[in-house]
Structure 1
Amino acid sequence: MRLDDERRIKGFDGLRAIAFIFVFISHKVGFDKGTYESLGGTGVLLFFALSGLLITRILTRTRMAVEAGETTMLEGLARFYLRRTARILPIYYTTIGIFLIASLFVHFNGFEGGAPLAMLLYATNVYVFTTGHWVGHFGHFWTLAIEEQFYLLFAPLLLFAPSKAAGSICATFVVLGLVTLVGLQLAGASVLAIDLNSVTGFGYLALGGLAGLNLHWQAPRWLISTPAQTAVVLTLLIAPLIVLSDQSVWRTYAPAVAATAVLLVFQVARNQATRFVALLETWSLRGLGRISYGCYIFHEFVHFYDIEAVSQKLGIVFETPDWISVPIEFAITVGLATVSWRFFERPIMAWAHRATQKVAPAAA
C-alpha cells in the first residue's frame, strides 16, 4: 500500500474548469452591474466542494496510516503542509511580491494601507469585513484566505483525532457555518461580514468533506447517472442566472447552492463512466482545470483597457468591437497560467511529491 496514493479522480479537473468559467464570467461580463455575481459565487462554492472532498480524504487516509503504524501524526502533518505549501504558496506569494515591487512606482487601487500585509497573512477576508474597504482587483483573494485558514485549522483536527471522528468533525463545521450564517443575517450584519466570514466558508468546505467520507455509499444508480449529473450542473448554471440572480436571494439560498455543488462532485466521483464525465475529460476542460488555480489568481489583473492604454502610448491605435475584450482577456489569462503551470508550479509540486514520498509496509 502506498501511503501517498492520491489517485486522480476523473472529471474533477473539468469541474474546476467550469468553476473558473463561472467566476470569470461574473468578473468580466456586466461586473459593474452585478449581472452575473451569483454565478461567480456558485463557482466559488464548486471550488470549495472539490477542495473539501479531496483534502478530507487525504487527511483521513493519512490518519488511518497513523493508526496502522505506517507513519506518525507529525510526519503526516508535515507531509500535508509541505504539499499544500508547494501547491498554493509559490504562485500566490510571487504575484503579491510583483505587486509589492510595482507599488513602489505605481498605485494600485486596494493595495494600500494594511491590505498587502493582510494578503501576505492570508487574511484578506478579515481585512475587508473589519475595515469595510474593498481591495479592488485583489478582492478574489478572500476565497484563498478562507481555504488556507481552513487547512491550518482542519488538518491538525483530523490528524490528531481518531479516524472514526472525521465525520463528526466535518458535521460540526457544517453546523457552525450554518448557525453563523443565519445569526449574521438575523443580526442585520453587513453584506461583507456575511459573505466573507470564515466560519461559513469552513462549513462549505467541510460539506465537501462529508461527501468525500461517504464515497463508499451505494447511491441509487439514477442519482449518479449521466442525466442526473447533467441536471445538477445545469441547475448550478441556470439557477444563479434566473432564480437566484438577486444577491439578497442568493445569500439566503447559498447553503442550498453549496449542497448542490457537493452533490455534483459526489456524483462525478461515484460514477466515473458516464458521458458527462467523458465530457469533463475532454482535453480543453481537463487542461483548463489543471491550470485553474493560476487562472483564478491572474484573471482579475488582466484588462483589455490596459492593453489599449499601452498601445496608445506606443502610437498604435486600433478599433475593436466591444465584445472582443472578454475573449482576449480569457486567452491572456490562460496563456499566463499555462506558462506558470509548466515552468513554475508543476516543477515545485513535483519536488514536493518526491520529498514527501513514502512507501508504507504492505498490508498483511
Structure 2
Amino acid sequence: MRYIKQLDAMRAIAILFVFCNHACPEGSLLYKASTIVSGPDIFFTISGFLITAILFKYKNALTDNTLSKSDIFKDFFIKRVLRIFPAYYLAILLTYLINQEAVNNILPYLTFTANYSIYTYQEWGRLAHLWSMSVEQQFYLLWPFALVLTPHKFLPYIICLFITIGLYSQQVTPFPDFAEVLPQTCFDALGLGALLAWVISYQPTHFPKAYRVLTVLAILSAAIIVVKTAVKLPVLTIIHQRTLVSLITVWLIGYFIKNIEIEGGKLGYIFNNKYLITLGKVSYGFYLFHLTVLFFCYEALQPFNNKLSAHLSIAGTREFYVTESLLLLIGLAWVSWKYFELPIYALQKHLLPAGRKARRAQERQGIQPSTALTEVAN
C-alpha cells in the first residue's frame, strides 16, 4: 500500500501537542492549545483508520481463500507485538532504573491496564501517559475479531455502532475528569477513522460525496471548538471535544487521500515538511519517553546549565530546560526507532506466514497494491 507521508506529519503535530501539555506552564498559550487539541485523540483517529485498512486487506485475502482466519490473526498480533511491546517495555524499564518510585504500581503498566488503574484511583502518575497505550492494546484485542468475523454487508453497521457507543459512553461515564482514559469513551475517535477506511476500501465511488460531508463536519467542528473555548455554553458540553478533534482529523486524512497525487494539495506546504515527517516517524518513542525525560533529566542537566549560565543568561530558565528536553527526546526517539524498534519490527518477515502467502497470491494474480492507503507501523 502506498505510503501517505502526511500522516507522519499529523503524528508529529499530535506529539508536539502532548509535549506542550506536559512541559509548558498552565497559563501559557501552548498549554492552552494542547488542552483544546488533545494529541491522543489524533493518534486514535489515525490508528482507527490504518488498522481498519490493514484488517480489510486481510479480510479480502480471506474472501479470496488466499489466507485462513488463523493466519490473519497470527499475522496481525505478531506485527502488533513486534511494533508495540519492545519499546514500551524498554520505556518502563528505563523509568524504573532511574526512579523506582515512579513505577511503584507496575502491574497495570505491564498488563496494559493502566487506564483502568488511573480511572479507579483517580490519580495520575509518572507514567500516566501510557493510559493511551492501554486503550490501543484493548482496541487491538477487539477490533480484528469484530471485522474479520463480520460479514461484509454488516461492516458499516458494526463501525457505526462502535462510534455510537463512544458518543454515549462520553455522556454517561462517571468521573468525567478521568473518563477519557477508558476504552469505550475513545470508540468514536477510533470508529471515525475506521469508517473512512471502510469507504475507501469498499465504497471508493462514494468517497467524493463522503469527503464533502466530512468537509462540512470539520468546519462545524472547528467552529464549535472556537465557541466552546471563548464562551462557556452548557448546550455545547454535550459535544465532546474528542469527537470534534476526531472529525477534523478524519477530514484531514481524507484530504490527503484526495490529493495524494499532488503531494497533499495546498496543505502540503505544512504537512510535507521533512522535519515534521521525520518527527512523526519516531513519534512512538518520543511519546513513550517524554515524561521520563521531563521528570528526571533536570538534575542531570542542572550542573551543565549552571556552568552555561555564566555565558548565557537564559540557561537556567524553564524555557531553556524545555528546549533541552525537546532536543534530547528527539535524539532519544530517533536512536530508539533506528537501532531498536525497526530491527525488531523487521523480524516479522521470518514470522509471518500470512504476509508471504498474500504476496505470493498477488504476484500470481498480477494484483498491484492499492495506491489509496498505506500500511505503516503505528
Give the TM bin, normalised by the shorter chain.
0.7 to 0.9
Question: Does residue 195 in structure 1 map to residue 189 in structure 2?
Answer: no
1:177/1:202 contact within 8 Å kept:
yes
- Residues 308, 142 of structure 1: alpha-carbon distance in 2 compared, 3 angstrom cutoff: closer
Q: Deviations over 1:58-111 (max 9, x none)?
A: 1011011101100001101110111111111110011112334445xx432xx2
- Residues 221, 153 of structure 1: alpha-carbon distance in 2 compared, 3 angstrom cutoff: closer
Question: Does residue 123 in structure 1 map to residue 124 in structure 2?
Answer: no
- Residues 16, 253 of structure 1: alpha-carbon distance in 2 compared, 3 angstrom cutoff: closer
- Residues 244, 280 of structure 1: alpha-carbon distance in 2 compared, 3 angstrom cutoff: farther
> 2:14 pairs with 19, 26, 31, which one?
19
Q: Deviations over 1:282-327 (max 9, x none)?
A: 2111101100111111111113x85452355689544324422222
Distance, in Å, in 2 between the alignment partners of 1:80 and 1:220 is: 32
Name the structure 2 match of 1:260: 248
**AA of the residue aligned to 1:38:** T
User: Which 10-residue stretch deviates more, 345-354 or 60-69?
Assistant: 345-354
- Residues 223, 327 of structure 1: alpha-carbon distance in 2 compared, 3 angstrom cutoff: farther
**AA of the residue aligned to 1:270:** K
Q: Residues 290-329 of structure 1 correspond to what in structure 2 (within 5 A)?
A: 290-303=281-294, 306-310=296-300, 317-319=307-309, 320=315, 321-329=317-325
In the alignment of these two chains, the number of paired residues is 343
2:211/2:254 contact within 8 Å kept:
no
1:60/1:163 contact within 8 Å kept:
no
Distance, in Å, in 1 between the alignment partners of 2:119 and 2:73 is: 31
1:119/1:141 contact within 8 Å kept:
yes
- Residues 253, 94 of structure 1: alpha-carbon distance in 2 compared, 3 angstrom cutoff: closer
Question: Does residue 157 in structure 1 map to residue 151 in structure 2?
Answer: no
Name the structure 1 match of 2:35: 38
Q: Residues 202-351 of structure 1 correspond to what in structure 2 (within 5 A)?
A: 202-215=187-200, 216=204, 217-219=206-208, 223=212, 235=222, 239=226, 242-243=229-230, 252-272=240-260, 273=262, 274-277=265-268, 279-303=270-294, 306-310=296-300, 317-319=307-309, 320=315, 321-351=317-347
**AA of the residue aligned to 1:181:** Q
2:5/2:277 contact within 8 Å kept:
no
- Residues 65, 244 of structure 1: alpha-carbon distance in 2 compared, 3 angstrom cutoff: farther
Question: Does residue 180 in structure 1 map to residue 169 in structure 2?
Answer: yes
Deviation, 1:209, is: 0.3
Distance, in Å, in 2 between the alignment partners of 1:350 and 1:100 is: 27
Q: Residues 104-143 of structure 1 correspond to what in structure 2 (within 5 A)?
A: 106-108=100-102, 111-112=103-104, 115-135=105-125, 137-143=126-132
User: Which 10-residue stretch deviates more, 313-322 or 210-219?
Assistant: 313-322
> 2:62 pairs with 61, 66, 84, which one?
66
Distance, in Å, in 1 between the alignment partners of 2:114 and 2:253 is: 27
> 2:94 pairs with 98, 116, 121, which one?
98
Distance, in Å, in 2 between the alignment partners of 1:253 and 1:143 is: 16
Q: Give the TM-score taking structure 1 as reference length.
A: 0.83
Q: Deviations over 1:165-207 (max 9, x none)?
A: 32222111111111111222xxxx2134422221111232111
3-state DSSP of counterpart to 1:11: helix
Question: Does residue 29 in structure 1 map to residue 19 in structure 2?
Answer: no
**AA of the residue aligned to 2:176:** V
3-state DSSP of counterpart to 1:140: helix
- Residues 277, 173 of structure 1: alpha-carbon distance in 2 compared, 3 angstrom cutoff: same
Q: Percent identity?
A: 25
- Residues 82, 73 of structure 1: alpha-carbon distance in 2 compared, 3 angstrom cutoff: same
Name the structure 1 match of 2:3: 8
- Residues 32, 352 of structure 1: alpha-carbon distance in 2 compared, 3 angstrom cutoff: farther
Query: What's the C-alpha RMSD, in Å, of the aligned pairs?
Result: 3.4
Q: Give the TM-score taking structure 2 as reference length.
A: 0.80
1:180/1:200 contact within 8 Å kept:
yes
Distance, in Å, in 2 between the alignment partners of 1:140 and 1:310 is: 23
2:17/2:34 contact within 8 Å kept:
no
1:49/1:204 contact within 8 Å kept:
yes
